[in-house]
């Protein structure tokens, strides 16, 4: 026994340090926006719980495209050269850039609203190729957000839709809201947001158009300006519903959408399965099971709004 242990120790000692370091899984996280302006720590924590701690049990590289297509493509070229063991791609622009580059690297995506329509996968049950991940239907959620906005603000008959084109799915969501509004007899003022500098003019135009509330659909660039957006909504007395709870915690009135924490945990779990040998083509794309309604009562009071008590009882989180 001692001899076998001694020989095993000699063999381990004979392996160069650099080679042993390379045996750590290499995980790349590619976000098309500003990852440090998002709750990306939830993804890193999920990976750590699965045994992938950067610098100790894994090498994790966090990359952000900062809403710039040229920068995003440069990062994709970097990943093509590095060939990590798995890439976790956050939001559709990042996933599409990887798809178009044709990297032969497994990709797990998150926060992609229509991966089939975007040509990323063949089907949810059988993705095919090197992509799998977590998705949700932004189109369906658009109509649901309109419903919630009307329930929270009885008597509303004219709304604004302020939307960023940074996510291609937002255009589909826009059509969904318009259809739902038409069925309810709600007038719609739609305004595409061309960038951060367009936020103030867009809110002003929505107010002049007589909008009583707004559905704000963010993208990877605008998500980093949540406090500025909330301040503009307050200044124009325009109650807003958003996609994610983080937008409400930074001052928006309310949000409804898939749990960010759950999405990151499930993306991390899929990446873990890939690292353990599973093929993305054989891992069905998952859909969220948890959706969160978050309401900011401080914002409601600042706007002089009285949110109905039955509505507040439906909320998963009320900020007071």
Reported as a pLDDT band with limits 50, 70 and 90, residue 22 is low
Q: Which CATH superfamily is domain 2-135+260-289 in?
A: Response regulator (3.40.50.2300)
Instruction: Classify 286 as helix, strand or coil.
Output: strand
Sheet holding 317-319, edge to edge: 187-193, 158-164, 213-217, 240-242, 254-258, 291-296, 317-319
Cβ neighbours around 2 below 10 Å, total: 6
Query: Which range is most confident: 105-109, 143-147, 259-263?
Result: 105-109
Give percent above pLDDT 70 in the chain: 92
Task: Report which of 286, 293, 289 is spatially closest to residue 110, judged by C-alpha positions.
Answer: 286
Side-chain-side CA neighbours of 90 within 13 Å: the count stands at 30
Instruction: Classify 90 as helix, strand or coil.
Output: strand
| Distance from C-alpha of 49 to C-alpha of 46, rounded to nearest angstrom | 5
Helices (H), the chain: 2-14, 17-22, 41-49, 69-82, 92-101, 138-152, 169-184, 199-208, 226-235, 245-249, 260-275, 297-302, 309-314
pLDDT score of 226: 93
Name the more confident of 85 and 259. Answer: 85
What is the arithmetic mean of pLDDT over 6-14?
37
Instruction: Classify 104 as helix, strand or coil.
Output: coil
Question: How far apart, in Å, are the Cα atoms of 20 and each of 6, 16, 25, 38, 99?
Answer: 19, 7, 11, 33, 31
Residues 6+ apart with CB under 8 A from 100: none
pLDDT score of 138: 63
What is the arithmetic mean of pLDDT over 247-261?
94
Residue whose token pair is 């996510």: 167
Check for a shared fold between 2-135+260-289 and 138-258+292-319.
yes
Architecture of domain 138-258+292-319: 3-Layer(aba) Sandwich (3.40)
Q: Where are the domains of the chain?
A: 2-135+260-289, 138-258+292-319
What is the arithmetic mean of pLDDT over 209-236?
93
pLDDT score of 2: 40
Cβ neighbours around 314 below 10 Å, total: 12
Does 142 score more than 70 pLDDT? yes
């Amino acid at each position: 026994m001692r001899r076998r242990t001694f020989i095993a120790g000699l063999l381990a000692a004979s392996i160069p340090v650099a080679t042993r370091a390379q045996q750590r899984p290499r995980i790349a996280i590619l976000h098309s926006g500003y990852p440090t302006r998002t709750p990306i720590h939830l993804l890193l924590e999920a990976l750590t719980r699965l045994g992938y701690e950067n610098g100790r049990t894994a090498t994790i590289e966090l990359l952000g495209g900062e809403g710039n297509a040229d920068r995003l493509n440069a990062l994709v070229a970097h990943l093509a050269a590095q060939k990590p063991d798995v890439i976790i791609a956050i939001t559709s622009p990042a996933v599409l850039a990887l798809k178009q580059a044709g990297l032969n690297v497994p990709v797990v995506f998150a926060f992609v609203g229509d991966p089939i329509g975007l040509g990323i996968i063949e089907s949810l049950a059988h993705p095919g190729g090197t992509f799998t991940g977590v998705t949700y239907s932004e189109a369906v959620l658009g109509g649901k957000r309109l419903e919630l906005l009307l329930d929270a603000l009885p008597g509303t008959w004219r709304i604004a839709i302020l939307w960023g084109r940074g996510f291609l799915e937002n255009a589909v969501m826009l059509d969904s809201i318009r259809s739902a509004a038409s069925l309810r007899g709600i007038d719609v003022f739609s305004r595409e947001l061309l960038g951060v500098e367009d936020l103030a003019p867009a809110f002003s135009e929505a107010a002049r158009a007589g909008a009583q509330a707004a559905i704000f659909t963010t993208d990877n660039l605008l998500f980093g300006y949540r406090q500025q957006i909330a301040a503009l909504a307050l200044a124009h007395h325009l109650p807003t519903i958003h996609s994610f709870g983080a937008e409400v915690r930074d001052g928006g009135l309310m949000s409804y959408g898939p749990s960010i924490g759950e999405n990151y945990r499930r993306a991390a779990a899929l990446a873990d399965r890939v690292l353990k040998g599973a093929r993305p083509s054989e891992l069905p794309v998952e859909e969220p099971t948890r959706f969160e309604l978050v309401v900011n009562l401080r914002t409601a009071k600042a706007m002089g709004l009285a949110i109905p008590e039955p509505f507040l009882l439906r909320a998963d989180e009320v900020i007071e």
